Amino acid sequence: MASSQTSTLRPSTSTSTTKMSTTSPSSQDHQLPEPSKSPSLTAAAWADTPYALIPTPLPSQSAYTSPTIPAASLIAHEMSHLHCMLLRGLNSLYQQAPHVQTESSIASFLQYGNHWCTTLNHHHATEETFLFPRIDALAGEALMTPNLAQHLTFEAGIEALDHYCLTTDPSAYSSQDFRGIIESFGSTLRAHLNDEIGTLVALDGKVDGDKLKALWRASSLHARSKTDKNIGLPMIIGTYDVTYQGGALSEFNLPIVLLWANEWVYSRKWADCWRFLPCDTRGRPRALVGAEEGTGMKERWKM
């Protein structure tokens, strides 16, 4: 496994042997261009497998900044990146699960798993209680209800994973059991995250664009107000990947003050967990740790 010094490059995702049948897009995959591959460093699996990342509606920076792009596409674009962050977190759990061996590392890894569950639940709670009901109200019809109903199809799996992370003694940890829980809901979750983007793109012409943009901003502020920044900021930045699609995410800005606040304040409380994140504190992909104890496993999560 590559050391943390190679963290600014993404390990190769070209080897098909690491992929599972769960990676295939759902039959209703929204019809958008597949993401381009970043330059390779090694043949090691990274956090874009086994559950494939979501294709983004706007594949270039110029498209993202164009004033003619519909509001629905802009919002779907940003939502797709949020969904990719969630999938990178899930994939990093799956990839590293067999490689944590000492009880102290297992304890930190399980805490990291709990933080991922918390992040996903917070994201979906914002959709359920704030964003999607208001979109339906603007549209005058229940356009988002089918996507909300999909939450029920994987909630039990998320609860099972969170319960395992919170209650398992490190001495009783089983990577096979841990991965089995993820496999019970992973493909269903991935399909949901993909389907939702198509629904958002289709809002164009059904919801006033200016009102939709205003709602998106309000929803973002609402989500931030409900976030534990000791968990939310490290999880967001650590799954960000500023290189995705040739750097298109750079337009989805990370203010420098936020980076420093995360580095010097909010990443401290759970510092031992963040070694398992797939990106560094600038959102740059790094090799997953945990394949060998002592190879980056004990190093501080740093720039």
Domain boundaries, the chain: 60-276
Q: Distance (Å, rounded) from C-alpha 51 to C-alpha 68?
A: 33
Q: For 8, which DSSP code? A: T
Is residue 71 a contact partner of residue 212, using CB atoms and an 8 Å limit? Answer: yes
Annotate 217-271 with DSSP letters as a single string.
HHHHHHHHHT--HHHHHHHHHHT--TTHHHHGGGGS---HHHHHHIIIIITSTTT
289 CB-side CA count, 13 A: 28
* C-beta separation of 251 from 65 below 8 A: yes
Backbone angles phi, psi at 53, to 5 degrees: -70, 165
- Please report, for residues 65, 73, 121, 200, 217, the alpha-carbon distance to residue 207 in angstroms, rounded to integers and kept in the order given: 21, 12, 27, 10, 15
Residues 76-103 have pLDDT tens digits of 999 999 999 999 999 999 999 999 999 9
Residue pair 286/6 in contact by the 8 Å Cβ criterion: yes
Q: Angle CA(185)–CA(279)–CA(242) in degrees, nearest 5?
A: 100
- Scanning the chain, the segments in alpha helix (DSSP H) are 61-65, 71-96, 103-126, 132-139, 145-150, 155-167, 175-201, 209-225, 229-238, 244-247, 256-261
Residues in the chain: 303
- Would you give per-residue pLDDT tens digits along the chain (303 residues)? 333 333 333 433 333 333 333 333 333 455 433 333 332 333 357 999 999 999 888 866 666 677 788 999 999 999 999 999 999 999 999 999 999 999 999 999 999 999 999 999 999 999 999 999 999 999 999 999 999 999 999 999 999 999 999 999 999 999 999 999 999 999 999 999 999 999 999 999 999 999 999 999 999 999 999 999 999 999 999 998 988 877 766 645 677 888 888 889 999 999 999 999 999 988 889 989 753 433 333 333 332
Taking only the tens place, the pLDDT of each residue in 168-222 is 999 999 999 999 999 999 999 999 999 999 999 999 999 999 999 999 999 999 9
